[in-house]
Amino acid sequence: MPLIEEKRFPLTELTEEESLFQQTVASFADEAIRPHVRRMDEESVFDSGIIQQFFQLGLMGIEIPVSFGGSGSSFFMAILAIEELSRVDASAGVIVDVQNTLVNNAILGWGSEEQKKNYLPRLASDWVGAYALSEADSGSDAFSLKARAQLRKDKFVLNGRKLWTTNGAEAGLYIVFANADPEKGYKGITAFLVERDFPGFSVGKKEDKLGIRASSTCELILEDCEVPQDNVLGEVGKGYKVAIETLNEGRIGIGAQMIGLTGGALQYALDYSKERQAFGEPIAAFQGIQFPLAEIATELEAARLLVYNAARLKEAGASFVKEAAMAKYFSSMVAEKATSQVIEIYGGYGYTKDYPVEKYFRDAKIGKIYEGTSNMQLATIAKLLLN
């Protein structure tokens, strides 16, 4: 029986450039974001000044070519940035994640030269991007969406409502999916580049969420929304391909968010276990504390290797869909388990908002849900194993 072919890259070794970039983002996260994390979580608003700093540091256009005003860097660099930001605040991580792995990559991969010229410089300098696929009755069954697009002269007119749109409150540009030919089913789905001030477009309800509260999650309302025909991303009827390809990349980004927040929670647990005294010595002296810490650290390293491997494969132009699904599935499972254990290490203090670890636990839960639930990841992995 032949062995399943596995693709591996040198995962834990970072180049000098990657290591320096990682350290720079880590320092920025600790110094510029950490002091504001609790306030932003309580107010459910991400500090606009920090978003401006994301742009100034080039974090919102990591893969955008220098010719379009971006950093001209790599997908792996984006993954490192998401991980380090999420170590301090998962809301920060997902803002940068959606911008780079979904919005920018979709335009880089599917946009016309005119669209790239029009939008990439703005996305690199001052426009937050958002990605609107989900609806009230189309989550995992994403292609059952009800939003419609009708061509009238030189414009498409969009009608419908989109839900769960990350960055919805801050965005200037939205990638919106609607069906331009419902009789063709999913082959009528089309992706549109919709600017915030287009007639008939508005941002609706902002969700009041359990975790990643500073990251906005909004309803979008399309009421005879007029979109120029030139703003079709890719081709009419090829929106399902745009969605599939970008979400496969986005899952690696979510994996990076999950390992980042797990690492942040673990560091708090390590520090606390050395400070907290019980029975005359630090609780770190007891195996009841040591073993959970060792387990978290081991599972975190395994999850990081999965995420980095998927990112390296994507960057090398190799097949990575199965590896991306594995990375998201496993890292989100590790994050939920680890952050729960960290609360227990803190004991009663961990259950209060006076200490930071309960937020990591709340933030971790979304990892099993958005950009493809854990069951959808398992379905993808099984399909590719059995083909």
Q: What is the DSSP string of 27-47?
A: HHIIIIIGGGHHHHHHHT---
3-state secondary structure of 147: coil
Beta strand 217-228 with 155-166 is: antiparallel
Residue 139 has a pLDDT of 87
The span from the CA of 145 to the CA of 186, in Å, is 9
Residue 267 has pLDDT above 90, yes or no: yes
- Rg of the chain over Cα atoms, rounded to whole angstroms, equals 21
Architecture per CATH, 241-386: Up-down Bundle (1.20)
pTM above threshold 0.85: yes
Q: What is the CATH number of domain 16-128?
A: 1.10.540.10
User: Token pair of 328, please?
Assistant: 């998201």
Architecture per CATH, 131-237: Beta Barrel (2.40)
Catalytic residue, from 135, 315, 358, 371: name it.
Answer: 371
Tens digit of each residue's pLDDT (9 = 90 or more) over 216-237: 999 999 999 999 999 999 999 9
Tens digit of each residue's pLDDT (9 = 90 or more) over 166-192: 999 999 999 999 999 999 999 999 999
Q: What angle do CA 293, 265, 313 make, to 5 degrees?
A: 90
User: Token pair of 47, please?
Assistant: 């500090």
Active site residue 226: no
Phi, psi of 190 (to 5 degrees): -135, 145
148, β-bridge pairs = 159, 179
User: Token pair of 234, please?
Assistant: 């890719």
Phi, psi of 356 (to 5 degrees): -80, -10
Domain boundaries, the chain: 16-128, 131-237, 241-386
Tens digit of each residue's pLDDT (9 = 90 or more) over 328-377: 999 999 999 999 999 999 999 999 999 999 999 999 999 999 999 999 99
User: Token pair of 273, please?
Assistant: 């276990």
Query: Could you give the dihedral angle defined by the CA atoms of residues 317, 318, 323 and 325, in that order, rounded to the nearest 10 degrees?
Result: 60
